[in-house]
Structure 1
Amino acid sequence: MTADRLGADGLRATMEWFRDALALHRDVINQLNVYPVPDGDTGTNMALTLETVVTEVSAAGEGMNEVCHAISHGSLMGARGNSGVILSQILRGLAETVATAGHVDPPVLAGALKQASAAADEAVSTPVEGTILTVVRDVATAAADAVDQGVDGLIQMVEGCQQAGRASLDRTPELLPQLARANVVDAGGAGFLLFLDALATAMDGRPLPDPPPVDPTAGVGAAVAGADDPHGVDDDADGTRYEVMFFLEAEDDRIGQFRSAWEDLGDSIVVVGGDGLWNCHIHSNDIGGSIEAGIGVGRPFDIRVTDLFEQVEHVESLMESATAAEIGGTVTTVEGDPVRTAVVAVSVGAGVRRIFESLGVRAVIAGGQTMNPSTEHFVQAVEQLDASEIVLLPNNKNIVPVAERVDECTDATVRVVPSRGIAEGLAALMAYDPSASADENLSAMAEAAADVVTGEITQAVRDTESELGPIAAGQWLGLGRSGLRVVSQSTAQAATGLLAELIDDSHELVTVISGADATAADVEEVAAWLAEHHPDIEMEVHEGGQPLYPFYFGVE
């Protein structure tokens, strides 16, 4: 029987079917990945986010307000990775509209999808077309058009949205060059369309669609260029070097003045918020002027500056297996004297954890290259510590946006150093002062993390083409901040080749963190190469024990 209007039970069922659909399609979405490294994670992150949503929805009361609140809170606390954060914004936008209406019918669904699209756009600093953002917007437009044209019923409207969504997804390679080169569609957009499938199943009981077969030799895919990097990569960047982001406490009527000041300083300007709190983003060559514009109208805080020249086509999306997901998020705390500001770090590998603990980290969350902790895992770690001020070291690009949501979920003052790897996290700790405030530590630690040159070695899991030529499964890859730098037949050759790319005459120290797959002979070969080619550079070796990545490098 088809329902023309859904209540709380129907919305609850939709979330359950959406969870099941994402679990069913998880591996297909995970295999959409730009480089052939073991790190595809969009499907897993979306599926894990829905697991938390369904857990909360199942425990919620019978009313629509209770169900919608559970969707909003569950998606906030369960969001994993960039794709999970964006999905949580979509669900929160949907829930806000539906809660107000008290039911779902064609006009309400159209309004909810419009709000979801707006919330998704606000979730990223520099939205780009050809990602999940495009797909959600096109579906919302189709829903609005259906209402305007007097659609017969809710199921007919959903079917029209499905058709529009598939057409939008098919167009994503035309809008995003990375997808066209890979001959694939956007991973996050594919995941979102499963929501519409779940909605149809909840209404008339039709089966969920089976996942399509995936050709493991197809090579590259969409997770990095798509859902887990919805800002995209601009191949025609205009030369502005820095991305400046901060929150701004300012009266709403002064934001126009602030926007005008920024328009003279750069581009890619995004200022969203209201009620005295604004999230601000700009690309500019004038860091000081960008921040001073905020000071002129209010109080900027949680300031983040990124060198865009080092981030072009940077690849760091991650894969989460079911086993990793089960152990990811485990929190280990360390006893110590009371401190004003404590540090929580994310890491994987017993050796890496011990290094962090020796440098003053009070809580370590298991996670990283093979597992993304959720917002709730961070909150649990923060609330286990006595300190009223906390600095988070996510140590992975894909975990940074999850960490940035923690401050709103706890009474502690929480700041995030946007560390994108273990080497950056270690460098940041060199500037850590437990007696200073979280804001003071944020400034010093973020600067230290940005100054280190990082690299890592991993193994290709499939054949593909790359900017360096063909890559065969089993070859070793050297990755720097700018992406793929080296392809080699052995771990040690890839390591020395990458170091040759990273080191210059200004450097004095190379920190080597060996992983579970690095042999003693590999480490000795790296040490011998460094002694021969850079005899004046000091080398520190630590046994990290991390999986998948035999070497992490930090060059200072």
Structure 2
Amino acid sequence: MPQPLDAGAVSRWSRLAVRALGAAREDIDAINVYPVPDGDTGTNLYLTVESAAQAVAAAEAGGPSLGEAARALAHGALIGARGNSGTILAQVLRGMAEVLAAGPEPATAATLAAALGRGAASARQAVAHPVEGTMLTVATAAADAAGRAAEAPAAALAEVLRAARDAARGALAATTAQLPALAAAGVVDAGATGLVTVLDALDVALFGGPPDAVPRPRPVRPATAVTREPADVVAGGGCATPEGGSGFEVTYLLDAEDDAVGPLRARLDALGDSLVVVGGDGLWHVHVHTAQAGPAVEAGIAAGRPHRVRITALPPADPSPAEPPASGRAVVAVLPGPGLAGLCAEAGATTLTVRPGELPGGAELAAAIADTRAREVVLLPNDKELWHAAAAAAERARTAGARVAVVPTRSPVQGIAALAVHAPDRRFDEDVVAMTAAAGATRFGEVSVAERQAWTMAGVCQRGDVLGLVDGDVVVIGGALPEVAAQVLERMLAGGGELVTLVLGAGAPAGLAEGLTEGLRQGHLGVDTVVCAGAQSAPLLIGVE
């Protein structure tokens, strides 16, 4: 029996879309051959829609209206968007939510057509360099067909949706001929396939019955043999990419004013490709492929406040089939600041940044491990509070067939020391032992500001006092940050040391690093100093090796 397009339909749609993408995930991954054959488009779309469905489920307790349910769907997709295609899908859902929230409940055929039109248009606007033959093309074809169907006298909701779905399927089949990379592999676009699957789920949510099978031909040759064509595009989403698209995938949520997003887009566009910036109302999701992970995150810091930063190494865009496969080893590092994330990414790690008080759970760490698609993974929690979650994530990943070791790092500077000796060409056990030894040989300190009155190993501190910590214990309480930092550094060097690492936080005063470095030159000859911008909340982190 046909159902109205109301809040209940949005809830059913989200659950059915998760189920459909879960069933189709591996097939969609298999046809993701461009720009790099990393085979993750299906997985990214599944995780994006899963996050959207969770947001709708959380909103159901309050008895939401159609607009509230649609907004929850779009917000959940924005928060959980993964990869290029997931980010674009989130914007499609956001555009649809804007129209559904402003229209009648239940939605009419004309409202649905307008929602599909807004979703397709806003997604296209969010992509820096739209390319035809991608999910953008399919979204536009569906919206145009829906618009034409809605113009008929007494057009029914079913007629509009079926017109959109049929047009999307036709546009999907045509993607193979539109892009040379897809034609060479003999496949349709992966992201567009996922979008058709989501539209099918809406059809089932409203009118019931199993959807027709979506055509998903597997590659006619191995993905690793796909060659780069002159018409460089991102088949999974719809963005142009320059030659040699290997490097890093950088994604983050960004709290920023709307007028800061234009300059951000321009800056990121100059740094890389596959650029998609979606969102609004102060919250944005940023996705870019770049060889310069640090500057890409710094651009976000200049525009606002980035969080949930993910930096993942991309496989080569044009691998040679004659070359042996990579070692299949990855390092996942959890870090408290985007600057640290950029530094560790350049050292070869997949990174996950967290904000104070928002430590990731075992499931999120397990997802970060799975995202590497590596056979062997070293996890650097860089916080004692994360050890239990890290152990749970490692065990979960092992059940999926990966070999995982957790190096019990208690501070980001210990993680940096471990990464410095990481050698993926060594035997796994030897590499883990070397990284563990390097982390253990690194003393760590921190200078922070007390948020409240508390008892410490050095006495009672008051809100606003500057605290100096060594190996996790407060050893100095003072009023001036440079003086406390100098005292902490002297205590840490009392037992000797050859290398000092100073990681400056977002609140570090000007001249702090210079003053500490000069003091080291005068009082500790032979000690080398490395200074880096971590942008973490603590003004200063110190490592002594």
TM-score by length of 1: 0.48
Q: Of the two, which has the highest radius of gyration?
A: 2
Per chain length, whose mean CA-contact separation is higher, i.e. which structure has more relative contact order (CA < 8 Å, sep 6+)? 1
TM-score by length of 2: 0.49
